[in-house]
Structure 1
Amino acid sequence: MRFNVFKNTVLLFVLVIISCANKTKNISFNRINKHEAAFQSRNNETIVIGANQTERYLPMLQGKSIGVVANQTSVIFKTNNTYKHLVDSLVDLNQNIKTVFAPEHGFRGKADAGEHVKDGIDTKTGIPIISLYGDNKKPKPEQLINLDLVIFDIQDVGARFYTYISTLHYVMEACAEQGIPVLILDRPNPNGHYIDGPTLNPKNKSFVGMHPIPVVHGMTIGEYATMVNGEHWLKDGIQCELNIIKVMHYNHNKWYSLPIKPSPNLPNDVAINLYPSLCFFEGTNVNAGRGTNTQFQVFGSPFLKSDTFKYTYTPKANAGAKYPKHQNTLCYGMNLTDQRHLNHLNLQWLIDAYKNTPDKATFFNSFFIKLAGTDVLQKQIESGLSMNAIKATWQKDLDDFKNKRKKYLLYN
């Protein structure tokens, strides 16, 4: 017994030292480009994510039965540019982790987009895993029974149709109904430096867009959770008890390079930055790089005019896309891997692709309206409006959202 107490004390001391010492350099798994390297080093070296601030949240866990909503990004960084999964770290500290809840792509982040994620047992820790993607998007009361606290720690990328914020909504709602507090270990938003896109019309609500916000919302998970509560977006207007471990030394103008890819088809900083603009292609007959090693950095289709779109590639089944659009078919398109860092949503690529598709009736599919959150954008593109003209129609909604957003910001 004395040895176990000593071991736990030493482990707790080590984690506290790590969190205090780590200023999270966050060496990128693939830096966005040479133009951003200096900006990264000047602005990001002092950021300390919520998960690393163990001295702040470990006391909240003592004596509690805990559920954790996590994926492969849920890590504690160490001083030698390595990291350890949050769940593994808490288990090593003998914290009572009862259940892991897994979002889209699964607990270890290997499932394709849209692929059904099954319940199971984590082979490393032996902890039961409950999928929150597929038929069971909201934790059931029996799945929360005997839990005293739920931790939410997932790296988001700041786009409305990136489903981790939808999972956040359902976790908050389920916990509020059962009187269980949620502890959010906050992380920076790599697209938190701008706000853009059409605002979702509630009649188009789906798992890829649940709230009346723009495509790019400019908030961290912690800030977004506060807005969900404050705007009474949970069922029947209930509110969830929240505790948020804020990111230290962060503001929305700081560039943040992700050290772990947040999902299988966002392999680097370029893809993450282009994702809000290129994801619209998921609702068209154009491939957005799935089935390549440059996901969300290229786009193409067999139907685009080859004299205009001279870049070619052939999507192949790979670990991130078992059945990519236009599999094994030569596609004509554009290579955006050298695109400079965007601070706005770029519609021009979508507009140009539509204009250069001979059979325009087959360009859009039903998923496009869910991604856009409105049926207006498709009509605007089909009518020939320019990007600037389209974006002008968003401005009032964007101004209204920015004013609303101010109430919930945790960072400048």
Structure 2
Amino acid sequence: MRVYPGLEILLKEGLLKNKKIGLITNHTGVNFDLESNYHLMLAEGYKITALFAPEHGIYGDHPDGQYVSSTSDATTGIPIYSLYGATQKPTKQMLKNVEALVFDIQDIGARYYTYMSTMILSMEAASEWGIQFVVLDRPNPIDGLRVEGNVPSLSWISPVCYAPITIRHGMTAGEISLFMSAQKNLSAPTVIPMEGWRRSMLFSETGFPWVPTSPSASSLEMALLYPGTCLIEGTNVSEGRGTSVPFQVLGAPWIDALDLSKAVNALNLPGIKARPVHFRPSYSKWAGNICQGIQIHIFEPNVVRPVETGVRLLFTLRDLYPENFEVTPPGPNGKHFLDLLCGGAQLTDALKHDSSPDRLLDTWNKEAQDFTSKREDFLIY
């Protein structure tokens, strides 16, 4: 028993064969045998007139945040239009030979990931120009049951906080497309559902091999921690970029690994344990410097609460290292990156003024409960 993604259902049933297709995809758009979606579709006689690239590019070879250039695919000659650069929404010119705009990308299940932002902007373009929008659905790799974190106000929407949904949302791309089409009053998308997926499933239960969803998404363990450890990106502590296990290790030159591991383990956070580590990032924060910190190991994946874990990690770092720990300063837009990730300043303010994260987490838990009810009408599985 395994899960059959929307791509395989599309091919099995021969759907959309009469359409000129624009395909929004990347290296994760594969079948069970790890064959690329557009090569499979072309072999079956589909007419693909354009490819569209999200962050990290069609081939997954661009680092985080680096603009992607428009080009053409070397094997097929199909034009590749970048949706992660000066243009983030398909233009009328890009869509001139497109009758169905199809999205097929594996998401990670956290609101910070920009792939869903790309999907939503593409839905808007399709709606504006009267083009059918289709989602080939894929699993939420960190399950479809658990919901954690806050719901941002619309004034904070950005590529790293793309919708009024929780940080860990427990939805698939298809479900998010239905939710956002209702929110934005867009033309309803066509979702080609998976077969065999259940909401309780982690990606390891789908029968599918893990294809890194981005250069730093090395494993399912990383994906499970990412909704929480991504918050470290908004501080002067390394989140492990430049190591083999980003978002699983964190540290800085001024941290004592033993002290931090003892403090984190004393929190008794569900499903995880911290191990003291030393590491030297090859790039990003503290590149070339010996850092001390922790690696987070998952013992019980079904009970891990990554958002709570991330928030409590930040408070622990603040309390242990008040002279060194900092939220990174505001960028050119006047906003802290931590605030952009969170969709508001609640966490930054709590780190400044609250003795513990309990009040903030209580508020976020209430928002998560409300969102769990709100999403019900849009769930497919």
TM-score by length of 2: 0.88
What amino acid is aligned across from residue 117 of structure 1 in structure 2?
V
> 3-state DSSP class of the match of 1:244?
strand
Of the three residues 327, 346, 364, the one matched with 1:394 is 364
Is the CA contact 1:298–1:337 (under 8 Å) kept in the aligned structure 2?
no
Aligned residues: 351
What amino acid is aligned across from residue 134 of structure 1 in structure 2?
G
Is the CA contact 2:10–2:192 (under 8 Å) kept in the aligned structure 1?
no
Aligned equivalents of 1:214, 1:360: Cα separation in 2:
30
Q: CA RMSD in A?
A: 1.7
Aligned position for 1:133: 84
1:331 to 1:340, Cα distance in 2 relative to 1, 3 A: farther
Aligned equivalents of 1:364, 1:383: Cα separation in 2:
17
CA positional deviation for 1:212 = 1.6
Aligned equivalents of 2:373, 2:12: Cα separation in 1:
31
Aligned equivalents of 2:337, 2:114: Cα separation in 1:
14
Aligned equivalents of 2:326, 2:314: Cα separation in 1:
14
| 1:158 correspondence with 2:109 | yes
Aligned equivalents of 1:372, 1:266: Cα separation in 2:
20
What amino acid is aligned across from residue 138 of structure 2 in structure 1?
R
1:385 to 1:398, Cα distance in 2 relative to 1, 3 A: farther
Aligned position for 1:266: 217
Matches within 5 A, 1:7-406: 45-55=1-11, 57-62=13-18, 64-77=19-32, 82-191=33-142, 192-232=144-184, 237=185, 239-257=186-204, 259-306=210-257, 308-309=259-260, 310-316=276-282, 323-341=283-301, 342-344=303-305, 345=307, 346=309, 347-359=311-323, 362-365=326-329, 366-406=336-376
> 3-state DSSP class of the match of 1:308?
helix
> 3-state DSSP class of the match of 2:16?
helix
What amino acid is aligned across from residue 296 of structure 2 in structure 1?
L
Unaligned runs of 5+ in 2: 261-275, 330-335
What amino acid is aligned across from residue 96 of structure 2 in structure 1?
I
Aligned position for 1:22: none
Aligned equivalents of 2:355, 2:107: Cα separation in 1:
32
1:229 to 1:57, Cα distance in 2 relative to 1, 3 A: farther
Is the CA contact 2:279–2:292 (under 8 Å) kept in the aligned structure 1?
yes
What amino acid is aligned across from residue 325 of structure 1 in structure 2?
K
The ranges of structure 1 where at least 4 consecutive aligned residues each deviate by more than 3 angstroms after the TM superposition are 54-57, 337-340, 360-365
Aligned equivalents of 1:220, 1:377: Cα separation in 2:
26
Aligned equivalents of 1:51, 1:307: Cα separation in 2:
47
> 3-state DSSP class of the match of 2:24?
strand
> 3-state DSSP class of the match of 2:15?
helix
CA positional deviation for 1:163 = 0.6
Aligned equivalents of 1:176, 1:196: Cα separation in 2:
31
Aligned position for 1:18: none
Aligned equivalents of 1:281, 1:142: Cα separation in 2:
39
Aligned equivalents of 1:339, 1:300: Cα separation in 2:
21
1:400 to 1:307, Cα distance in 2 relative to 1, 3 A: closer
Aligned equivalents of 2:368, 2:96: Cα separation in 1:
41
Is the CA contact 2:327–2:348 (under 8 Å) kept in the aligned structure 1?
no
Aligned equivalents of 1:385, 1:251: Cα separation in 2:
40
Aligned equivalents of 1:387, 1:371: Cα separation in 2:
17
1:198-249 alpha-carbon deviations (Å, 9 max, x no partner): 22122222111122221111100000000001122xxxx4x13411111112
> 3-state DSSP class of the match of 1:141?
coil
Which deviates more, 124-133 or 241-250?
241-250
Is the CA contact 1:56–1:245 (under 8 Å) kept in the aligned structure 2?
no
1:299 to 1:340, Cα distance in 2 relative to 1, 3 A: farther
CA positional deviation for 1:107 = 0.2
